[in-house]
Structure 1
Amino acid sequence: MDMDSTIDKITEGTLEVVTPEELREKLIKDQKTAYIGYEPSGKIHLGHAITVKKMKTLQEAGFKIKILLADLHAYLNGKGSLEEIEEISEYNKQCFRALGLSEDTQFILGSSFQTQEDYTMKVYQLALSTTLTRARRSMAQITRDAEDHQVAEVIYPLMQVVDMLFLNVDLAVGGMEQRKIHMLARDNLPKLGFTSPVCIHTPLLHGTDGSDKMSSSKENFIAIDDEPDVIKKKIKKSYCPQGEVEGNPIIEIAHHFIFSEMDTLLIQRPEKFGGNLELTQDELLKMYGEGDLHPLDLKNGVAECLVNILEPVRNYLKTHKEKLS
């Protein structure tokens, strides 16, 4: 694959690449590393899967992939005790592998290096050049809502910047909620004598309840290992307003997980309601946007297809169940 085709594939479906020119320079390197950090959580869901798909693309483009299982970050974000968080990390690791990352993907537990003396000193140095206002703003879409903010909220983004330094990152991936932290890294790593990473931002998947972000803490998610009946039940209950395409989680799921794998979506309907439909993405958007497709028909079609797409993931995790205990 030539350079332009590789860049097109990497940037496909992203909201932003900072910067395309720097990405081109990184691709020329013989050894290059792309990273993303995840707070270990109880369930890996479709929101996570969007970024994992991008990591797979980068892997195919020659990047060494480093996945940070950010246990200390999760602790600072009030996600439980360190013991509870670490227990779930292995399960998360297997979930990411089930989504198709290759065996040479490197999984790194944050606490394995984040208490080192040199790491702590770099956090202190970064604290000297970062305003309190900017640190808090960078966490606006990441922390849980609270009336009174914790000091941990301003330590978190500083640590994330230093993570990129310690992991020798050429490229950082994240949803748009990570943008302010990524920009903090780009502005401040040169002050510490290091090169800024290229940053790639992917869309956030709306929750099944229609809220801005799919989240395990909000119970508005579809897990990648949900059983077929659970997937169908969750999609049937999902927010899916008649005739509305923007902000519609069912339309988004079709875009990110169905039409990225196949050209058409089969929607099965009784003859009395018009019979079966096989629609391209453009046809689906037009038909649904004009109110000519019932939400329940859309939901049924997406649910059936998603169940099939996630079958290899469920099978992988069942096969590796002994590793998760």
Structure 2
Amino acid sequence: MAALTPDEKYELISRSLQEVLGADQVKAILAERDLNIYWGTAPTGKPHLGYFVPMTKIADFLAAGCHITVLIADIHAFLDNMKAPMELVGKRAEYYTELIKATLTSIGVPTEKLKFVLGSSYQLTTEYSLANMKICSKTTLHDAKKAGAEVVKQVDSPLLSGLMYPGMQALDEEFLGVDAQFGGVDQRKIFTFAEKMLPALGYKKRSHLMNTMVPGLAGPKMSSSDPDSKIDLLESPEDVKRKVGKAFCEEGNITENGILAFVKTVLFPLRSMNGNKATFSILRPEKFGGDVIYTTFQQLEDDFKEKKVHPGDLKKAVTDAINDLLAPIRAHFDNDKLRQLTEDAYPSPKPEPKAKPVKSNKAPAGATLPVDVSRLDIRVARIIEAKVHEANPNSFISTVDCGDGDVRTVVSGLAKYIPLAEMQNRLVCAVCNLKPGKFQGVMSSAMLLAGSSADDSVIELLQPPKDLEAGDKVEFEGFAQADRTSTEKLNPKHQIFEKVSAEFSISPEGVAMYKDLPFSTKNGSVTLKSLKEGRIR
């Protein structure tokens, strides 16, 4: 095979990327030598299907003669609001390394040409620590928060550890000795921060290569923090079928369709690797149109828009394609050693001891109940009708169906922020075991949960997924849902709701969270319409 020209190498490096910062610098280096690139990933939640996108680009980089370093950023995983506890970081780093190598091998990428580096192998040295102090001395609180806004978990009172994250990612470029860093477009603010800060420390400015983000099955992007938006690389065939099956995929809708987006961003690029002609097949009986083989995504999208492809047929085809992709990775991990590594990295939750039934709503004398989300009865509810409070134009009085014939009156101070028309016949999340009380002269028997921006300029009601019914549960992994027939009525003077809700937040993906757990329903996670950070009250 003839050697590639610098222009041909750049074409391979940049194809399918969403953006390149410093393209001229990359081209100048390619005119003299091959490019050094690093891609980093923090071992937090389990890697998901979205990882196939950077894997395909790594294949392009290798084909272009690039030298690739894969950074397993174990220190970063701990710093990002402690998403990975320090006692688990080491095992998760091993798990990520093994799983990434298995994934690359499954699509024909030679891992022996890659250099894997553990972040702690150099980030704990004296030289790196001094450089980190220097970058901290030149970084304002505002710039640190802005740089990490799309990557680091955002909370009202951020830990100092999370604010260090962007500076350390910038320094990695210098200490790994690379010409460019590769990552998702969600890291753009960190990349522009690095381009500003490294020259300020006397280091050279690097280029940045950004791939598109993979949309989630039930949200704006596939994310480890939202289990319903993603399919793990070791997901069982049954769970793949279940998650794809319940993903939103409305007939003819091509704009809000995570299934179609996955075909576009993952399946077609994967199948076109190494110059292959990509195809995607819909297999169905003749009476429903027969089999169709698509050679471009546009053909598939057009047919779906025109309702020539039914959502059920699309979901079946995608389920089969995903299970084919994951089969060799599952096989690689099908041994005692790697099963134990998986358990060590992500320990199975210990079963909670069965509590003795309590007939009274009151706790037994002397009992101490935990102050956590298990104390709250949060349900999907439907506003039947809302009207403006006659005595207070800033409040609504709503008639709310909480399920099983449980219809309540709820007063909420939302009229300044939400149009009355948006309050009619809509699903909401309601806390249903607060002690009823008079609010602005009207007895209110529940609380509607809303998210707000840091300055309270934007307030939105939480949005449960579509196709739910009033009374459906909102649950949190690892916390048992209380039996509604025995749920205590929370006395306001004990401030249980206030203490628990202090740990509510909105993720960068717009998912409602309790600590690191999403508000979950049988149809997916609860989200916000536009807020990507803030608090819930």
Which TM-score tier does this pair reach, normalised by the shorter chain? over 0.9
Q: CA deviation at 1:239?
A: 2.2
Establish whether residue 199 from structure 1 lines up as the match of residue 208 from structure 2.
yes
Establish whether residue 168 from structure 1 lines up as the match of residue 177 from structure 2.
yes
Question: Normalising by the residue count of structure 2, what TM-score does the alignment of the two structures yield?
Answer: 0.57
Task: State the Cα deviation string for residues 124-179 of structure 1 (Å, max 9, x = none).
Answer: 21123222211101111112242322222221111111111111111101111111
1:263–1:31 Cα change, 3 Å: closer
Establish whether residue 4 from structure 1 lines up as the match of residue 7 from structure 2.
yes
Establish whether residue 90 from structure 1 lines up as the match of residue 94 from structure 2.
yes
| Secondary structure in structure 2 of the residue aligned to 1:16 | strand
Residue type of the partner of 1:271?
Answer: E
Q: 1:58 corresponds to which residue?
A: 61
Establish whether residue 254 from structure 1 lines up as the match of residue 263 from structure 2.
yes
Q: 2:287 corresponds to which residue?
A: 272
8 Å CA contact 1:70–1:111 kept in 2: the answer is yes
Higher mean displacement: 131-140 or 233-242:
233-242
1:16–1:125 Cα change, 3 Å: same
Give 5+ residue unaligned stretches, structure 1: none
Structure with more helix by fraction: 1
8 Å CA contact 2:78–2:84 kept in 1: the answer is yes
Q: CA deviation at 1:104?
A: 3.2
| Secondary structure in structure 1 of the residue aligned to 2:168 | helix
Residue type of the partner of 2:202?
Answer: G
Q: 1:21 corresponds to which residue?
A: 24
Establish whether residue 217 from structure 1 lines up as the match of residue 263 from structure 2.
no
Higher mean displacement: 131-140 or 287-296:
287-296
Give 5+ residue unaligned stretches, structure 2: 272-276, 342-537
| Secondary structure in structure 2 of the residue aligned to 1:256 | helix
Establish whether residue 74 from structure 1 lines up as the match of residue 83 from structure 2.
no
8 Å CA contact 2:183–2:211 kept in 1: the answer is yes
Q: 2:137 corresponds to which residue?
A: 128
1:282 counterpart (298, 302, 314):
298
| Secondary structure in structure 2 of the residue aligned to 1:153 | helix
1:171–1:319 Cα change, 3 Å: farther
8 Å CA contact 2:49–2:232 kept in 1: the answer is yes
Q: CA deviation at 1:84?
A: 0.5
8 Å CA contact 1:36–1:173 kept in 2: the answer is yes
Higher mean displacement: 100-109 or 214-223:
100-109
Task: State the Cα deviation string for residues 99-132 of structure 1 (Å, max 9, x = none).
Answer: 2242132221111111211111111211232222
2:103 counterpart (99, 103, 106):
99
2-structure distance, mates of 1:167, 1:53: 22
Task: State the Cα deviation string for residues 13-71 of structure 1 (Å, max 9, x = none).
Answer: 21101122222123234353211111103421122221222122112212221111111
Instruction: Report 1 or 2 for greater relative contact order, CA contacts < 8 Å, sequence distance ≥ 6.
Output: 1
2-structure distance, mates of 1:10, 1:324: 37
Q: Computing the radius of gyration over CA atoms, which structure comes out larger, 1 or 2?
A: 2
Q: CA deviation at 1:322?
A: 4.6
1:32–1:263 Cα change, 3 Å: closer
8 Å CA contact 1:91–1:324 kept in 2: the answer is no
Q: 1:297 corresponds to which residue?
A: 313
Structure with more strand by fraction: 2
Residue type of the partner of 2:142?
Answer: T
